[in-house]
Structure 1
Amino acid sequence: MSKPRINTMEELSVAIGVSRPTLSRFFQDPSRVKKNTAARIEAGLARVEYVPNFFATRMNRKSTGLIGVIIPYLNDLFFTKLLQAVEVAAMQAGMTVITQCSHSDPAIEARAAETFMSMSVDGAIVAPLGDHSDQAVHLRLKSRMPFVLMDSRPKTMPNVDFVGTNHHQSTGLITEYLCRMGEPPVFLAMPRVNFNAREREAAYIARMRELGFEPEVIGTELLHEDWHFEEHGEAVLDIEFGGGRLTDRSILCANDRVAIGAIRAAARHGLTPGRFGKGGLRIAGHDDYPLCPYLNPALTTVAQNTDAIGKKAVSRLLDLIRGDGRDDTPEITLFDGNLKLRESA
């Protein structure tokens, strides 16, 4: 037989003969009620169909147990990996994650921040769009709750704690590798809309000059309003390969999604990037996108340590929520990248 359905805590109180305040304390923390009362409540819950209202059980608590997370893209598996790392770390700490996506739109990003403020989440972790994020909204967010930046650190938010990748190290690592294996690499950049891509471009230029080579950067112009990743990489190299250029060069892409487009362009022109032998066409990326090992050829890249970034972002946020480490100096944590050698370079 189906159990009777209970919709409210008032109905539940009558059904099992326990006062509503006692039920509220039980759902907040079972140890806050007497053992025999807790056993009575558990026995009563077994006889009915009832799911406690998440927010109602937290109304009178100092903490909602919620962490808000904003990511820029839902269709990017890199951010899926990063979000997974954040959620696992948060769950292990007894917290619940609520995720919002800014969909590459500063107005939506601002609305997500406002939503978190209205929900009184305990703190927020934000992977921002970049310097075009709404600084005023993020300043309000920082004034209302503990706040940590993850993955990207815009110049407009220098006073916020940040956890991310050491792009100088990671981009320098793969630049040096490509220089050892063949012609010094060309950097396939992105239009000036992606903060991390600009950091990597600057790191590439610096490392090339340290090694005594002249940097070459292509792909900085926007070819189409919506072409920021795979389409951009394919279109830029389609033009270059079509003109007989770069067919025997090393090409370092701003990220793996751009590199996926670059590999497609190479295939369209009958070119196969490869790391076997000296010289020849090589294509490499950055991030270690989950599909990289399954491309043809598999993509050589630099892996960001998403597990460490997510875990540290949650750990730092929890420190701030508890009131630890609050001062005027932001804590900046950068993790090194690891080279992933595969067939493409």
Structure 2
Amino acid sequence: MKKQKIDTMKELSVAIGVSRPTLSRYFQDPQSVRRSTAARIQRELEKIEYVPNFFATRMNRKTTGLIGVIIPYLNDLFFTKLLQAIEIAAMDAGFTVIMQCSHFDPDIEARAAQTFMSMSVDGALVVPLGNQSDLKTYERLQERLPFVLVDSRPTTMPNVDFVGSDHWQSTGLITEYLCRVGPPPIFLAMPRVNFNAMEREHAYIECMERLGHEPEVVGTELIEDFWYFEEHGEAVMNAAFARGQYIDRSVLCVNDRVAIGALRAASRHGLVPGRGAKGGLRIAGHDDYPLCPFTAPSLTTVAQNVDAIGKAAVSRLVQKMRGGFAPGQPEIQLFDGALKLRESA
């Protein structure tokens, strides 16, 4: 039997015989109305084709129940993992996540923040582009609603709460490991467009000097527009291997995507990096990208605690949205990385 289709809350109120305010409370929280009324609404809804309008049910509330999230890339599985962790934590806290992507463009990033302000989201979690982000937009955002920086902390936003990885600890951890098992590593960097990449580079240099080794950084120059990751790593190491450089060295890559490019360059030259391979070449990364166990050879890396970062970011934001914080010094939460030893190093 075809169900009656109803489009508005007014029509639904007439059909069920329950006031619109009562229906609104029911859709927000079924336990907020009497048990008998909730049971009646549920019975009648089974006979009707009706989907409540998300925004209409929140028009008269002090909260929209929305958390805005800005990420820089859609094609990066690290941010997919982070977004998943955030969404699960937000659902557990009773919030719905709205995601916007900045596509590595400061203007798009600024529009995303303005969109969240226009939607009156309860708070926002932002993975910023870095120092090129529009500072004025984020100053407005901070005046309008609580927000927390996640994963990357630009020097232009020192007064905003931040949740992310301790890159000094994680980079130091894998640098020390590579120094123990083979020749001191070179550092395969990337063009100066990423705050985390710069922090890891500095951490590598500090660790190498502390261990009494000479740091060696390669790959800082942009080769082609937007060649920041796999293409960049492949191009830099392909040129080096063609010159006979680093074929018996450890190569610590700034992140796993750059390392995947380096692995491809090694394959092109018939080189097999790894602990059990001949020749001494080792390649390692940072992040524990989801594809790392499936590269050939599987990639040794250091994992960020993405689940803990997502959960802590949501927890801090919810605390701020509910007024449970004292203005003043920003709260900084850093999580340690963990070695993932695989075949490549």
TM-score normalised over the length of structure 1: 0.98
- Residue correspondence of structure 1 range 187-266 to structure 2 within 5 A: 187-266=187-266
Separation in structure 2 between the aligned mates of residue 111 and residue 77 of structure 1, nearest angstrom = 24
Separation in structure 2 between the aligned mates of residue 25 and residue 295 of structure 1, nearest angstrom = 51
Q: CA deviation at 1:25?
A: 2.1
Q: CA deviation at 1:236?
A: 0.3
Structure 2 partner of 1:315? 315
Separation in structure 1 between the aligned mates of residue 128 and residue 231 of structure 2, nearest angstrom = 22
Q: Which amino acid aligns with 1:188?
A: L
- Residue correspondence of structure 1 range 3-22 to structure 2 within 5 A: 3-22=3-22
Separation in structure 2 between the aligned mates of residue 3 and residue 192 of structure 1, nearest angstrom = 59
1:270 equivalent to 2:301? Answer no
Structure 2 partner of 1:32? 32
Structure 2 partner of 1:169? 169
- Residue correspondence of structure 1 range 53-64 to structure 2 within 5 A: 53-64=53-64
Bigger shift: residues 139-148 or 256-265: 139-148
Q: Give per-residue Cα distances to partners, 1:249-273, cap 9 Å, x unaligned.
A: 1000000000000000000011010
Structure 1 partner of 2:293? 293
Number of aligned positions between the proteins = 345
Structure 2 partner of 1:135? 135
TM-score normalised over the length of structure 2: 0.98
Separation in structure 2 between the aligned mates of residue 277 and residue 16 of structure 1, nearest angstrom = 73
* Alignment check: 8 A CA contact 2:247 2:279 kept: no
Separation in structure 2 between the aligned mates of residue 109 and residue 145 of structure 1, nearest angstrom = 17
Separation in structure 1 between the aligned mates of residue 112 and residue 315 of structure 2, nearest angstrom = 22
Structure 1 partner of 2:120? 120
User: What stretches of structure 1 of length at least 5 have no aligned partner?
Assistant: none
SS in 2 for 1:99: strand
Separation in structure 2 between the aligned mates of residue 18 and residue 172 of structure 1, nearest angstrom = 63
SS in 2 for 1:187: strand
SS in 2 for 1:97: strand
SS in 2 for 1:183: coil
Separation in structure 1 between the aligned mates of residue 40 and residue 294 of structure 2, nearest angstrom = 55
SS in 2 for 1:330: coil
Q: Give per-residue Cα distances to partners, 1:129-187, cap 9 Å, x unaligned.
A: 11101111111111111100000000000000000000000000000111111111000
User: What stretches of structure 2 of length at least 5 have no aligned partner?
Assistant: none
* Alignment check: 8 A CA contact 2:233 2:260 kept: yes
Separation in structure 2 between the aligned mates of residue 279 and residue 139 of structure 1, nearest angstrom = 53
Separation in structure 2 between the aligned mates of residue 232 and residue 120 of structure 1, nearest angstrom = 40
Q: CA deviation at 1:31?
A: 3.0
Provide the identity percentage: 73
Q: CA deviation at 1:278?
A: 8.8
Bigger shift: residues 273-282 or 330-339: 273-282
Q: CA deviation at 1:41?
A: 1.4
Separation in structure 2 between the aligned mates of residue 174 and residue 339 of structure 1, nearest angstrom = 7
* Alignment check: 8 A CA contact 1:9 1:20 kept: yes
Inter-CA distance 211–278: structure 2 relative to 1 (3 Å threshold): farther
Considering only aligned residues, what root-mean-square deviation do their CA atoms show, in Å? Answer: 1.1
Structure 1 partner of 2:335? 335
Q: CA deviation at 1:42?
A: 1.4
Separation in structure 2 between the aligned mates of residue 206 and residue 2 of structure 1, nearest angstrom = 70
Separation in structure 2 between the aligned mates of residue 263 and residue 68 of structure 1, nearest angstrom = 37
Q: Which amino acid aligns with 1:17?
A: G
Q: CA deviation at 1:279?
A: 6.8
* Alignment check: 8 A CA contact 1:183 1:279 kept: no
Q: Give per-residue Cα distances to partners, 1:75-130, cap 9 Å, x unaligned.
A: 00011111111011111111111111111111111111001101111100001111
Q: Which amino acid aligns with 1:130?
A: G
Q: Which amino acid aligns with 1:92?
A: D
Structure 2 partner of 1:148? 148
Q: Which amino acid aligns with 2:217?
A: V
Q: Which amino acid aligns with 1:183?
A: P
* Alignment check: 8 A CA contact 1:78 1:290 kept: yes
SS in 2 for 1:79: helix
Separation in structure 2 between the aligned mates of residue 277 and residue 80 of structure 1, nearest angstrom = 33
SS in 2 for 1:308: helix
Separation in structure 2 between the aligned mates of residue 312 and residue 274 of structure 1, nearest angstrom = 35
Structure 2 partner of 1:69? 69
Structure 2 partner of 1:102? 102
Q: Give per-residue Cα distances to partners, 1:188-234, cap 9 Å, x unaligned.
A: 00000011000000000000000001100000000001200000000
Structure 2 partner of 1:183? 183
